[in-house]
């Protein structure tokens, strides 16, 4: 009996759900799940998750007191909402969930560390072990340095918004648990910059992740690679064998509905014999490499701004919902 692409992919790669929609997770049975501010904002607006949102808002109001301004309550609630979703998600997936630090802190090492510790403390309070949590942090130099310290404390990190080899090398040297290179966003940039279309192995996002995979396996780094932000199943097929791939429900559906052979493209043993040179990466080298990489510079800046805007939108939605809840007389 032939297998669909999703079943075959699972033989080579850990499949992760790139969504805040728990119904989709129950349908596709991923090992792990990852969310970001945009996905949490989208999920928070779905009727089936209104009880989670309302519960977080009521708890925030209770914690801050009845005289606290709605904006303060909404601010506290949005910082708690991702953790509330994370707790629910961990009842569905057997593995880990990624919870993101506020994107506004991407260039602030100390505040990133403080918020990461706060997130872990809340999961600890809920009885969830830190082996099931990945703290998502943007792959700025400051974010990577924060992750390096957190990993030494036993707090595992997922470095996101990763677009360049310099970011990947710095993350590996820092000993982070996981990186999330953004395949589709790299493709988007090159299509816009060149006016060309790219398919299969010629896709710049596929090439970027493949290069990072080969480098990590060649030099024996423990940091795992989780390809993210896919635009089509062709990109996923080209990265079969990557440690993990985080995939949207739409593309998970396409993979499960498609029956065809899926050969393994990335293999750790094959990578070990590649003639690669080791890259030295300190702060000065990182800054120089980042400035020289227009794509990585553009997409990191755009990604941080986008996630920050999503948080601000969510905070506004929560303030509005809080006003609606408080307009209803107590029974």
pLDDT for res 74: 84
CA distance 80 to 126: 12
In the block, tokens 């690669």 appear at: 276
- Give the burial class of 254: count Cβ atoms within 10 A of its Cβ; 0-12 exposed, 13-18 middle, 19 or more buried: middle
- Kindly indicate the confidence band of residue 254, based on its pLDDT and cuts at 50, 70 and 90: very high
How much is the average pLDDT of 218-240? 98
pLDDT for res 76: 87
> Which span out of 70-74, 80-84, 98-102, 214-218 was modeled with the highest average pLDDT?
214-218
pLDDT surpasses 70 at 1? no
Ramachandran quadrant class, 280 (left: phi over 0; alpha: psi -120 to 50; beta: rest): beta
Verify whether residue 145 is a known catalytic residue.
no
Point out the catalytic residue in the list 62, 88, 91, 136. Answer: 136
DSSP for 48-59, please give it.
Answer: GGHHHHHHHHHH
pLDDT tens readout for residues 162-207: 999 999 999 999 999 999 999 999 999 999 999 999 999 999 999 9
CA distances from 80 to 37, 54, 198, 280, 305 (A): 12, 12, 40, 39, 21
pLDDT tens readout for residues 270-290: 999 999 999 999 999 999 999
Q: Could you tell me the pTM of the whole model? A: 0.94
How much is the average pLDDT of 36-54? 88
CA distance 217 to 271: 6
CATH class of domain segment(s) 5-327: alpha beta
Domain edges within the chain: 5-327
């Amino acid at each position: 009996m032939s297998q669909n692409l999703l079943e075959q992919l699972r033989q080579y790669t850990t499949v992760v759900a790139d969504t805040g929609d728990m119904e989709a997770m129950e349908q596709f049975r991923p090992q792990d799940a990852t969310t970001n501010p945009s996905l949490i904002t989208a999920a928070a607006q779905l009727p089936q998750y209104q009880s989670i949102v309302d519960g977080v808002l009521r708890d925030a109001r209770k914690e801050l007191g009845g005289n606290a301004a709605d904006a303060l309550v909404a601010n506290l609630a949005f910082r708690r909402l991702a953790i509330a979703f994370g707790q629910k998600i961990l009842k569905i997936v057997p593995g880990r969930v990624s919870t993101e630090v506020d994107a506004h802190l991407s260039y602030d090492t100390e505040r990133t560390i403080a918020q990461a510790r706060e997130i872990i403390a809340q999961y600890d309070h809920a009885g969830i072990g830190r082996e099931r949590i990945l703290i998502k942090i943007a792959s700025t130099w400051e974010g990577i340095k924060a992750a390096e310290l957190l990993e030494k404390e036993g707090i595992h990190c997922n470095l996101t918004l990763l677009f360049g080899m310099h970011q990947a090398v710095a993350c590996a040297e820092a000993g982070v648990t996981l990186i999330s290179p953004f395949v589709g966003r790299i493709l988007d940039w090159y299509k816009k910059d060149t006016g060309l279309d790219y398919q299969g192995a010629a896709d710049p996002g596929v090439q970027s992740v493949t290069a990072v995979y080969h480098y990590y396996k060649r030099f024996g780094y423990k940091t795992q690679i989780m390809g993210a932000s896919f635009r089509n199943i062709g990109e996923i097929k080209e990265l079969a064998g990557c440690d993990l791939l985080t995939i949207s429900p739409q593309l998970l559906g396409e993979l499960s509905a498609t029956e065809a052979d899926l050969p393994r493209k990335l293999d750790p043993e094959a990578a070990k014999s590649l003639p690669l040179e080791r890259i030295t990466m300190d702060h000065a080298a990182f800054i120089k490499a980042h400035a020289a990489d227009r794509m990585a510079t553009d997409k990191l800046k755009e990604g941080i701004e986008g996630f920050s805007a999503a948080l601000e939108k969510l905070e506004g939605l929560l303030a509005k919902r809080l006003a609606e809840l408080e307009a209803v007389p107590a029974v």
